[in-house]
Amino acid sequence: MTADLAVRLVIIGASGRMGRSLLRLLPQFPQLQLHAALVGPASLWQGRDSGELAGIARSGIALSTDLEAALGGAGLVLDFSAAGEASRHLGLCAAALIPLLLGTTGLGPQVQERLAEASAMIPVLVAANTSLGAAVLQQLVRQAAAALGSGFDIRIQDTHHRHKVDAPSGTALALGEAAAQAQSLPSPIGYASLRGGDVVGEHEVQFLGEGERLRLSHVATDRAVFAAGALRAGLWLIRQPPGNYRMADIFKEK
């Protein structure tokens, strides 16, 4: 696919772990062309080349803080920035009619109203974890919870690197939500979080019954799996009508 036909991509949160991973992996997705890469207003990377930030060849795209300007001519937005900006980003993308993948974790209830408004105008995919394996894990957890019922206690543990702030992780909470929604009489779900070293991400869900246990888990060893999943999900999202989507939805076309 030529650059003229590629979808113009805006990455919000380009200086973060996910943002840099997206920039490094983007050349493997010729259907997408970097249109803008945004950093926070206090970032020392403002004005510098996005390729330099990612440790790859210069892209010719300078890092910016102006989302409204970046949306001009864009076809897709991937947002991995701070949760406090989610409502604003939803509003701007909806006004510009640009599909948005929101990978920010720790979204509060105040975002839900803006999310409902935005998803009536554009396709929005909200994902605490954009790896394909984690999306399958949520489906398996939902099936197990429905089949086993309230006779099994559910315990969820997540392990991440020492710098991760939120606990439980957004993925752990999403797994718990999947289990709770599947049970007609939801039982309390227990969470445990471990932080240390450079662990990319591990999640295990245990169903503890009388005389038996079921364990379902996912281990990410390379942050690139999240970037690859986000880029793949973005390409899927641009073909969808307005609505509120999750990662598991991308498998429905198969």
Give the pLDDT confidence score for residue 229 in this predicted structure.
Answer: 96
Q: Which domains does the chain have, with CATH numbers?
A: 7-126+224-253 (3.40.50.720), 132-220 (3.30.360.10)
Instruction: Please report the beta strands in 92-223, taking only residues with DSSP state E, as ranges in sequence order.
Output: 100-102, 123-126, 153-160, 189-195, 201-208, 213-220
Give phi and psi for 244, each to the nearest 5: -110, 115
State pTM to two decimals.
0.90
At 171, list the tokens: 């993925």
What tens digit of pLDDT does each residue of 164-215 get? Answer: 988 999 899 999 999 999 987 778 999 999 999 999 999 999 999 999 999 9
Give the pLDDT confidence score for residue 110 in this predicted structure.
Answer: 81
Annotated catalytic residue: which of 35, 89, 163, 164?
Answer: 164
What tens digit of pLDDT does each residue of 98-130 get? Answer: 999 999 877 778 888 899 999 999 999 999 899
**Do residues 35 and 10 make contact, with C-beta atoms less than 8 angstroms apart?**
yes
- Contacts of residue 171, Cβ cutoff 8 Å, sequence gap at least 6: 105, 128, 129, 134, 158, 201, 203
Q: Within 10 A of 219 (CB to CB), how many other CB atoms are there?
A: 13
Give the pLDDT confidence score for residue 2 in this predicted structure.
Answer: 56
Give phi and psi for 110, each to the nearest 5: -65, -20
At 184, list the tokens: 């007609």
Q: Which residue, among 136, 111, 199, has the nearest Cα to 163 in the 3D structure?
A: 199
Active-site residue flag, 164: yes
Annotated catalytic residue: which of 35, 89, 160, 203?
Answer: 160
CA distances (Å), 39 to each of 78, 98, 214, in order?
A: 13, 19, 43
Give the pLDDT confidence score for residue 84 in this predicted structure.
Answer: 87
What tens digit of pLDDT does each residue of 57-106 get? Answer: 999 999 999 999 999 999 999 999 988 899 999 999 999 999 999 998 77
Active-site residue flag, 160: yes
